Structures are given as C-alpha cells and as structure tokens.
Amino acid sequence: MARSPDITAPDEQTTQNALVHAQTGVALTPPIVVARPDFGPRYRVIGTLGKGGMGEIYRAYDLELHGDVALKVVRSDIDHGMAFERFRREIALARKITSPNVLRVYDLAEHGALRFLSMEYVDGCDLAALLERETRLPVERALAIFRQICIGLVAAHECGVVHRDLKPQNVLIDRDD
C-alpha cells in the first residue's frame, strides 16, 4: 500500500478551487482536492506528471482507498458531445483488458465541468524519457521492454481494443523495467 503525504480533511473551499482551476484550464496545484459527486472529496493532487493529448496528468492520493493513482483531467476544450462519448466507450473497452503490461483504468468521473479519469499510477518514467536519459539500451534490455509492449498489445487486441496512440511517451517503464 502506498504511503500518502500528510493528509488532512479537505474543506469545501479546496474542492471548489479544484473545480475553478479545471474549468479555466489552469493547472491543478497541490494540495487541491478533486471531488466526485457520489463520493465527495476523493483525490488529493500531489503533483503534475505530464501532459497528454486529452489533458493534464497528475499524481494523486485516493482518500477513500488510500493509495496513489494517476488522474487525467480532460481538457475543457474537448467537445463534450461526440468526442467525449467516444472517449467514454474507449475507456469502457480498456477496462476489460487484464494484463500486467497494460495500465489499468479505474474510473471516468465528472464534477461540474471537470472531467477526469483515475488510473493506475506507475512509479517510473515513460520510454521517451528513458531513451533520452540512456540514449542506447543494451539489446537484451530493449528486447525485454519490446516483448512486454507486444504482450500488452496482444491482450488489448484480444479484447477488441486497438491502441491508437502508441509512441514512446505512452509506454511506461516502472522501476523494475
């Protein structure tokens, strides 16, 4: 179980700050708490992990289940009609994939204009950062990583899921490779 930073009960103002930041496109700043209408205050933002095509990604602490997660806050300019519904369907499909080589998606939630998904937090880096840092990987290590990517893709394909954005930034490498 992941150890959390000092967590205190979030107040209404902290939760509202999260919504205002998300609605205006301003980055969420720790220790903002993101709420879910059905659970109340749920995730305390710890820090920024990066940016993706759909929005900002944050490391957060799940106040209910007591562990770290990654939150992807969907950009406010994403069409809330067809594009969001397609995104919702893709997430529903992704949840069917059970492989240690595929990131688990837990939930898609909305709170006012704030839309976010919670997913498995990987303590490590992406393949792009690893290659930038190490430039050349030994052949055996590169093959081991490549095999794991292939195992993940096979698991996805067996569930009818095609990864539409496979690139080094979307391959996460944990501390054990």
pTM of the model: 0.76
Domain ranges of the chain: 12-121, 125-174
- Active site (annotated) includes residue 165: yes
CB 177 within 8 Å of CB 141: yes
* Residues whose CB is less than 8 angstroms from the CB of residue 111 and which lie 6 or more positions away in sequence, other chains included: 19, 34, 35, 36, 37
The pLDDT mean for the chain works out to 80
**Distance (Å, rounded) from C-alpha 89 to C-alpha 79?**
15
**Exactly one of 38, 77, 165, 176 is catalytic; which is it?**
165
Q: What is the largest CA-CA distance in the chain?
A: 53
Percent of the chain with pLDDT over 70: 74
User: Which fold is adopted by the domain 12-121?
Assistant: Phosphorylase Kinase; domain 1 (3.30.200)
Whole-number Cα distances in Å, 41 to 18, 22, 118, 133: 11, 15, 14, 38
